[in-house]
Structure 1
Amino acid sequence: MITTQGLCNLVKLEELDLSSNGITGELPTCWQNMTSLRVLFLEDNGFTDNVASSPLTSLTSLEFLSISGNYFDIPSSLSPLANYSRLKVLLLDDNKLTIDPKTIDLSSNDFPGPFPAWLLENNTKLENLLMANNLFVTLEVPLMTPRNLLVMDMSNNDVRGELTTEFCINVTNLNHLNLSANRLEGNIPSELGTIKSLSVLDLSHNHFSGELPIQLLDSNSSLRKLNVAYNNLQGEIVFSGNTMNQNLLYLQLEHNMFNGDLSFLSSLVDSWLLDVSNNIFIGKLPRSIANMSSLRLLDLSKNQLNGLIPQGLFNLPQLEYLALSENNFSGSLASSFIAPELRHIHLNGNKLNGSIVHLLPNGSNLVTLDLSENEFFGSIPYWLGNLSQLNILLLRGNSFYGTFPKQLCILKSLSMIDLSKNNLFGRLPICLGPMNFSSRGYADKVDSTSVPHIVGFTTKRRFDAYKGYTLLNMIGLDFSYNHFSGEIPPEIVISQDMLMLNLSHNKLTGHIPMSLSNLTKIESIDLSYNNLIGSIPEELTQLISLEVFNVSYNNSSGAIPNKNQFGSFIESSYYGNHLLCGLPLSNDSKKSCTKAKEDGFIDGETFYISFGVSYTMVLLVIPVVLFINPQWQQGWFHYVELVITTCRSLFITCYYFVQDGFRKLSSGPTI
């Protein structure tokens, strides 16, 4: 054993090499104070410590650690070394690896190289092999793979090549197989369907091609969850014998190239989740879809489906998420939404029409309503005010008309509202002020399913898709391309957390409200194509997060602010304002503010103030001067008397001249 205490006093030591010295026993506990140690060589000795309780766990500054060729007791999870955030090299070979007889968890360690098949050969009782989030590049399991192996997770590695038939034969008792987020290619082997115990299969986010093996959809299969999303699969989906599959509850086929119709949905009447979005499916929805009483999530978006939407689809008792966006569905919607659990409705990008005034949904739980880019008309319905949980309202690109729907002011949980590209008119109401545009209410409403909630919204001059935490933090208001008039109310500042405000392409008048300077997190303000007047408030330069600012084609005047973010805005942000001056306007489009002043340019307000001051000064100066100098006073009175006498003489002369002329005209011509 090491008995010297000399090393214990070297608390600032950075490198220590004790390799090949035949040292035995445990590490001194005082080593835990050597927190500055960066390099430690202990290989080829006889240390017998348990790593989990040794001083090694305290040496978090280590960048290089070699304990090879000892008798250290090392758990397979390597959890005692989890705090080594700076570690670049770790050598553990020729030690005692302590392994749970049922579970090996080596996840999230960035282990490179081929799959360690020896772990399966040497552990006959192994049930769970968890090796996600590493850098393994191959996947070859030995013939003697433990028959007890139930769970295998190799997701998010760098595994390449094809999934072989031999692999499927050697894992005959698997219950859960996750190979997602790798680089696997080729066809999905049909032998996977022969693993009768397989309940969960996730092959998503790979490069598989070809058709989906019919064996995986067999009615005798035990599969409950099948995820092959984000691959290059194609062909039609066919169920063996066209029989009903009561086991398959989760089916995810999104982001592939599957085609054909959706008749196979008739075999999945007990499913909970169906996502076939981003494929090439055609035709109408089967009527049987309205009988899927257990369905919680249905996503058929971004296909080529057409026809009417079955009325019963909105009445499913368990349905929480419905996405039929970007298809060719037409006709009007059902007369009512009565699904009690429905929280997200995405019907955007279709050819739906008619009025929605009488839908009257029982939607107290509704969080998202996206009806944008359709052909709906009529007024925006009053029942929106009953949706107390509504966070996202998107009605963009329809033919809604009327004044601003005041029922929206009742909603206190809104975070995104898009009424752009409609026929709304009238003034923007001040009732927006009390609205609590906040994402806090939405945080509890995020779907528990694995399908991401995605919403499209225009900001920073482009249309983007928002999802996940980005969506949670998105707070915006878009009233562009309507006919709103009057001044912009200061109450438009509905939340200091707002990121986007778009009031462009309306008929708004008046000044830009200084209250916009309270939007401390705003990233985009678009007020273009209105009739706004006056200067751009200098206070807006305080908005350090502002990336896009556009007031083009208004009647703004004065100097353009150039502090902070305003120094980076391009010339097109100010086009069409003939009374604006200063950078970034070019010499050809607008003279500088200095040149404008030299040319005698002065605004009306300055003129009236200057004239009033000058006139008042003249009236005050004349009496003061006359009072001080008697000679000037005498001269002044003489001048006034002369003017009065002259005017009187002129008046009398004019009077008699007019009277004489009038007499001659009255007496007629002389014969």
Structure 2
Amino acid sequence: MSNLTMLFLLLSLFASSPLGIIKLSSCSEVHTNVKCIHTEREALLSFKKGLTDPSCRLSSWVSGDCCQWRGIECNNKSYPVTKLDLRNAGLGGKINASLIHLKYVNYLDLSENDFIGIQIPEFFGMLENLIYLNLSSASFSGRILPHLGNLSSLIHLDLKDNGDFSPLYSRNMDWLSGLSSLKYLDMTGVNFSGVEADWLQAVNTLPSLLELHLSYCTIPYDFVNLRNIEDLDLGFNHKISDQLPSFFGIFCKLKTLDLSMNNFSGSVDSFLGNFSTSLNNSMESLDLSSNRLAGKIPDSLGRLGSLTKLILDSNSFPGSIPSSIGNLSSLQLFSLSENEMNGTIPESLGQLSKLVSLNLELNSWEGVIIEAHLMNLTRLENFAVTIDKNQSLIFNVTYDWVPPFKLKDLELEGELPHHWNDSQFPMVVDIAYNNLSGKIPNSMGFLNSLEVLVLSNNNLYGEIPSSLRNCSLWSIDLGGNYLSRNLPSWIGSHVLMLHLRSNLFSGIIPRQWCNLPSLHILDLAQNNLYGGILDCLDNLTALIYGYNNSYFGVYEYQEETILVTKGQELLYGRILGLVSSIDLSGNHLTGEIPNELSRLIKLGTVNLSINLLTGNIPRSIGILRWLESLDLSKNSLSGPIPKSLSSLTFLAYLNLSFNNLVGKITSGNQLQTLNDASIYKGNPSLCGSPLPTKCPGDETFDGPTITSGSVDDKQDGDDYERLWFYVSIGLGFVVGFWSVCCTLLVKKSWRHWYFQLCDDIKDRISLIIALKVVHLKRKFGLEKN
């Protein structure tokens, strides 16, 4: 056997193995045989019956083993249910008392649901093994019943911000004394207006309490000794209106104190003095903003050596910053905006080498800022100071001075300002990629001139305020937050981009959105939307006839956003106006893909993956001639792959995996370049290239053929292969022939060498023939003497 034959056999053997790859799993799948207790399974099913579940979050609650249900965890030894986690599930309805049969449950989370104003069930007080209870932002209302005080094992209790209905309220706080194990208590937004002035006496009976949040509670003023508290939030309680209590300083373990948005008045001298003299002072964060505090900031501030965050905004502090500020070596955020400061900025400020954010704006500073003020601020990223014509603050640095820091766009974390008004005329508000929390304030609706709103990638929650309808919004980017409730139906008709991906929105896509003729980017991916895809999409005329993209270049502002296309996240900036995209992936959408989608011929990206879509892929999908990326994976689509798909000449990315598609994979044109088998995997009834499964009638070289199927399909395949065979031969001949001939025509020396070679070969052949003739004549005696 020749070496060439051996090489051919080896290559054939390698090619017979799919991809020539052996894949070893890095981990093994774990199988458990946990079986839940029968009575607990029945209790959970009864609980499910009382609920409304529009997002089908509880769709797995049907099989026999409740320990495998979504949101349920069991003890893997004795099998009782220990954890019920249904946060942000879109649930409503009533809560069945059958949950009392979950005798060993220790973790219950029903937060971020919508129970439409029902009272917290009384029987929750009978779940005596609970150590974690979270009912926040779930629209509970009414009185907090004292039965919760029976949960002596409870460590974490969260009842904050329970929606737009009548808030939770409490007339008696004695029930707290039974929560002897409690370490975390958050009752933000609970109405305590009827509680007696000694309400904190009940809190003081909690020996283990470390963190207490009581903002927005309208609590009466009466502080007591909470020696073990580490984190205390009493912000936004306007009923507190008195001098700052000096005895806060004896809270030796207090690390975080928030007294913002109250009506405290007077001086902070004795208040800070007591903190600074505490031997075990561990204060790390202090927020006294938005009060009525006055008087100079005392030198004793410099003795709070553990501070990392100091916020004194919106008070009436006069004078200068004390030079002792330089002693706060751990300080990272210092904000003193909107006061009456009218003195100098001390050079000692430059000693704060860990400072990241410094806000001194809206004061009346005097004096000179020199290089010494800033030379050690190597970590500074955000610096704000207001200078107007009435101030005498001067920056005096040499012309070649290089700052030791590199400022980023202003980032001051926390909540958005609550007081926007019509005297402000911003056209663009872009505060993306920060640590903003809280809700979008209703007052932003006063910004009539606002055209671009970018608040993406923060920690905002709640719903989009309807007051924004008063703005002139062209572009809305709120992606990457925790915004919830229904999508707003009031979106203006001139909106070009609507980017709301990666939030907690639920409900259906508003039908009013079909009346957005300018819309060309719609991204609702990774939410909790349900219902069908709108069948009126063909009203989005910008995706049919094109649109005027000049908007994205005005105001010397360049908007940027991240879109998922071609299977990856891409940042779009300058060419954002040229992008046409619809991304509804990662939701709970049902029904069929509407044929109207095929009429949006300007679309470049369509992503409907990871939903519950059924029916066929529209046969007219090939009309989308500009389509570059199509992802329909992980649905329940059925039927054949439309032949029109092969006419998408710009298609660069396709994913149809994990559906119920059937028949032969469409081929030809652009689809010939998309030959990755993963495009079609998870469709057991699909066949044909690039899948290893042969279709009926396909011929193979290494085994018998499947005899059933269409003769026409087989004939078409043979004709196609025969055509390419002859085309390949023709191209090979043309390339080979003309590569030689062209060379000889151009290169004279090669031409002479070539013809000389031909003459030599001709002479040699003639000589060999003559010799052979002579030899034969001699052999047969034909040669004449």
Output the TM-score relative to the length of structure 1. 0.46
User: Which structure has greater strand proportion?
Assistant: 1
Q: Looking at CA atoms only, which structure, 1 or 2, has the larger radius of gyration?
A: 1
Output the TM-score relative to the length of structure 2. 0.40
